[in-house]
Amino acid sequence: MARHLPQESLSGNPQIRTLEDLGLTVRSARARGRLRIDDAAAFIGVSADMLSRLENGKPVTTDRLLKVLEGLGLEMLVVPKSQALRFRDAALRDSE
């Protein structure tokens, strides 16, 4: 069975509230890199199954999550809720 590249999400919202949001963000980054899931997993050094679970909103270990984010050129910021809107609004302006 041929594997296809995922569609890139165009939301631009960096705020992650659920595992599904996180998975969509990871899948979108992989799509921007034009990487099939097995190629991305091999490049990052994780299993395709683990990457698939992450992209589908299933829990994975934090060390693996950080490894995937690093491998796809993403970074996680943890900020107080009072400042989160500022980061989200700036990212949305930048994506326009």
pLDDT in tens, 43-69: 999 999 999 999 999 999 999 999 999
Residue 36: CATH number of its domain: 1.10.260.40
Q: Domain for residue 3, yes or no?
A: no
Give the total number of structural domains in the chain: 1
Q: Domain for residue 53, yes or no?
A: yes
CB 85 within 8 A of CB 75: no
How far out from the chain centre does Cα 72 lie? 8
Mark the ranges of the chain whose per-residue pLDDT is less than 50. 1
For residue 5, CA distances in Å to 21, 38, 61 come to 19, 11, 25
Predicted TM-score (pTM) of the model is 0.80
**pLDDT score for 37:** 96
Q: Domain for residue 6, yes or no?
A: no
Q: Domain for residue 2, yes or no?
A: no
Domain range for 84 is 19-94
| CB-count exposure of residue 86 (10 Å: 0-12, 13-18, 19+) | exposed
